[in-house]
A = this chain, B = another copy of it.
Amino acid sequence: MEQLINPTDCKTCHKKSLLFESLNDKELELANKNKKEIIYKKKEVVCKEGEEIKELIYLKKGLIKLYKKGINNKDQILTIAKPLDLIGLLSIFLDTTYKYSISTLEDSTICLIKINFIKELVKNNGFFALNLLKNMSKTYDDIIKTTFDINTKQLRGRIAYIILYFSQYIYKSNYFILPITRRELSELIDMSTGNVIRILSEFKKDKILRVNEKKIEILNIELLKKISELG
């Protein structure tokens, strides 16, 4: 189960990133008082759509998915967030309840920062407000761009795209261990589970990928990029 840990002081936290870099010592001290740090195991639910928003969710370590519940147990994954992504920011200024659910794909450490404190910061610290706008803009734009890209491709292009996404954006390596199931892959790139498996097998047969369960290695990145671009 989730577990509260002996937390890092915001002042010395190396993960504070863009978000808190514009805070002075006094503000960091306040931040520290207004946050809690929680460790989640893999596959735990951080928040559910519909729940009340009280805190900003900040991923310090690990990997999470942001998704919407669908009918008959088939969800739709909007995006996958890695550390320093400000994913829990979405719509917190607008609504009082979450529009999306979040769960962990790996063991993760999450900071929860009280919403009201964030709002005070926005009012009192102009640089923080600008940073927040920038950050939020980027998160949203990435989601829109990815959704757009995936929608305009056919199945082989989608698989190529998402493999490149994990390789380049998340793991920065040609070899990685897929953090999600084939079924979740299908929910991320909007296709049937059967076809995810089928096309991964094709790529394996064509010597584009080495695939062994969750272990994936890109063998022919040029061809993979071409397939991704051409759709």
> Which residues of A in the span 93-140 have a Cβ within 8 Å of any Cβ on B?
93-94, 99, 119, 122-124, 126-127, 129-130, 132-134, 136-138, 140
CB of A146, distance to nearest CB on chain B (Å): 11
Specify the chain B residue showing the minimal Cβ separation from A145: B99
Bound Cα distance A94, B130 (Å): 10
Bound Cα distance A124, B70 (Å): 43
Bound Cα distance A99, B141 (Å): 9
Q: Which residues of B contact A68 (CB under 8 A)?
A: 148
Q: Which residues of B contact A145 (CB under 8 A)?
A: 99
Q: Which residues of B contact A132 (CB under 8 A)?
A: 133
Bound Cα distance A65, B176 (Å): 41
Q: Which residues of B contact A130 (CB under 8 A)?
A: 93, 119, 122-123, 129
Q: Is the interface of A mostly helix, strand, loop or mixed?
A: helix
B136 near A126: Cβ-Cβ < 8 Å:
no
A129 near B137: Cβ-Cβ < 8 Å:
no
B78 near A138: Cβ-Cβ < 8 Å:
no
12 A–B contacts, CB within 8 A, in A order: A70-B152, A90-B137, A90-B141, A91-B141, A94-B134, A99-B141, A99-B145, A123-B126, A123-B127, A126-B126, A136-B136, A144-B147
In order of increasing CB-CB distance, the 10 nearest A-B pairs are: A123-B126, A129-B129, A140-B140, A94-B137, A93-B133, A93-B134, A93-B137, A91-B141, A122-B129, A91-B137
